[in-house]
């Protein structure tokens, strides 16, 4: 039978999120039904709710950092059983036929991955759902191939943001071969940035945090950063020239990046992770002079996401979170716009009002 689901949803770009009820599809043979216990609040949720990209379809239930417990499995499911601790990240399906999908990088699916919320949802038509609905809800049904196992040593609440923030930073660190001897700079110590610091440090890199002020310096050092650099300090920036192999840029707001390119060593790369909606000038000379690159990275595939969860468990890494009741989501959005969170809001879904 379809699963009655309670949630918080956005109904328009200029209205607060509000309680919302709908039905999830009846689990099919390949599906896993999950009771959601915790849902992380990602900055991209805010972009979608506010329709910053111009393609939001309402009503929409955000949330793609999901941690919960399996309540039922379909007849063909072999990877999970009732009672398992599981997670769901930014995607719930892909074409499975294109080259990226076959390579285990479903996030780069050529026709486009099916995102956890806001994508066309042919499987939901039977219960009146035309788009996928996300994790600010108390239940979800997902194909087993897009469900992750959360190791027992990771607290479920602090593990939830790993399904987006954790993999978004882990994937470029792995892609650019970060390890002992690597010199990594992280721009912005927020939800993504604090995960980049912890993971890069655990991989053996020498980590520097670049920020606009020193108010998070103690936090950065606690997380594993060896150095802290104020990017408005011209002398310090000049002294750090050509130092870094990799810069992980996590800032979502429009900001100056051209000056940061001089911090890269020869063949160094700045990877953009923040979902900014405006262009940022980059000049040719700093790139040409040291064969530097500006690149982008999305999340990771299912295989790499499971690898990330296992890595975090082995290295005692989890997100620093502020756990809140779902009815405080609009307050959380207001604070997130002011960067007033250390370092990720997580919704305690069991406090979702009846």
- Tens digit of each residue's pLDDT (9 = 90 or more) over 48-87: 999 988 999 999 999 999 999 999 999 999 999 999 999 9
The answer to whether residues 42 and 64 touch, using CB atoms and an 8 Å cutoff, is yes
pLDDT band for position 296 (50/70/90)? Answer: very high
**End-to-end CA distance of the chain, in Å?**
20
Residue given tokens 């250390």 in the structure block: 342
Domains of the chain: 3-164+320-351 (3.90.180.10), 166-296 (3.40.50.720)
Measured CA to CA in angstroms, residue 105 lies from 109, 113, 261, 299 at distances of 7, 10, 28, 9
Residue 146, helix vs strand vs coil: helix
The torsion defined by the Cα of 125, 129, 134 and 135, in degrees rounded to 10, comes to -90
pLDDT at 139: 98
Tokens of 5: 């689901």
The answer to whether residues 96 and 118 touch, using CB atoms and an 8 Å cutoff, is no
Q: β-strands 206-211, 227-230: how paired?
A: parallel
- Where does 103-260 have alpha helices with state H? 156-159, 165-175, 191-202, 217-223, 234-239
pLDDT at 253: 77
The proportion of the chain whose per-residue pLDDT surpasses 90, expressed as a percent, equals: 87
The answer to whether residues 200 and 176 touch, using CB atoms and an 8 Å cutoff, is no
Tokens of 119: 């994508």
pLDDT at 354: 55
Q: β-strands 139-143, 114-115: how paired?
A: unpaired
Nearest-angstrom CA–CA distance, 281 and 284: 10
Tens digit of pLDDT for each residue in 297-330?
999 999 999 999 999 999 999 999 999 999 999 9
**Nearest residue to 183 via CA among 239, 245, 115, 91:** 245
pLDDT at 96: 97
Nearest-angstrom CA–CA distance, 211 and 214: 7
Mean pLDDT (the chain, rounded): 95
The CA angle 319-324-326, to the nearest 5 degrees, is: 120
pLDDT at 241: 95
Statement: residue 349 has pLDDT above 90 = yes
Output Rg (C-alpha) for the chain, integer angstroms: 20
User: CB-side exposure of 138: number of CA atoms within 13 Å?
Assistant: 18
């Amino acid at each position: 039978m379809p699963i009655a689901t309670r949630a918080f949803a956005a109904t328009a770009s200029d209205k607060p999120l509000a309680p919302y009820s709908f039905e999830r599809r009846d689990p099919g043979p390949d599906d896993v039904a999950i009771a959601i216990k915790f849902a992380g609040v990602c900055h991209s949720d805010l972009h979608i709710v506010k329709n910053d990209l111009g393609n939001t379809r309402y009503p929409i239930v955000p949330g793609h950092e999901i941690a919960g417990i399996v309540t039922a499995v379909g007849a063909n499911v072999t990877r999970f059983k009732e009672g398992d601790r599981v997670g769901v990240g930014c995607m719930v399906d892909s074409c499975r036929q294109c080259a990226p999908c076959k390579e285990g990088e479903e996030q780069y699916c050529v026709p486009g991955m099916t995102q956890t919320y806001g994508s066309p949802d042919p499987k939901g038509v039977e219960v009146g759902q035309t788009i996928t609905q996300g994790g600010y809800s108390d239940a979800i049904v997902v194909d087993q191939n897009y469900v992750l196992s959360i190791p027992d040593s990771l607290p479920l609440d602090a593990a939830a943001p790993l399904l987006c923030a954790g993999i978004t930073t882990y994937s470029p660190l792995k892609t650019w071969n970060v390890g002992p001897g690597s010199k990594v700079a992280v721009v912005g110590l927020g939800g993504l940035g604090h995960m980049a610091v912890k993971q890069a440090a655990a991989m053996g890199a020498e980590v520097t945090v670049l920020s606009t002020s020193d108010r998070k310096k103690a936090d950065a050092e606690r997380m594993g950063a060896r150095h802290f650099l104020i990017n408005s300090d011209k002398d310090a920036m000049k002294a750090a020239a050509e130092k870094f192999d990799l810069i992980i840029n996590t800032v979502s707001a429009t900001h100056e990046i051209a000056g940061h390119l001089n911090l890269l060593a020869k063949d160094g790369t700045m990877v953009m992770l923040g979902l900014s909606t405006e262009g940022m000038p980059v000049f040719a000379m700093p790139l040409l002079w040291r064969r530097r690159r500006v690149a982008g990275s999305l999340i990771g595939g299912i295989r790499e996401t499971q690898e990330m969860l296992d890595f975090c468990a082995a290295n005692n890494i989890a997100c620093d979170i502020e756990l809140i009741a779902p009815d405080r989501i609009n307050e959380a959005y207001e604070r997130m716009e002011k960067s007033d969170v250390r370092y990720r809001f997580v919704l305690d879904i069991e406090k979702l009002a009846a």
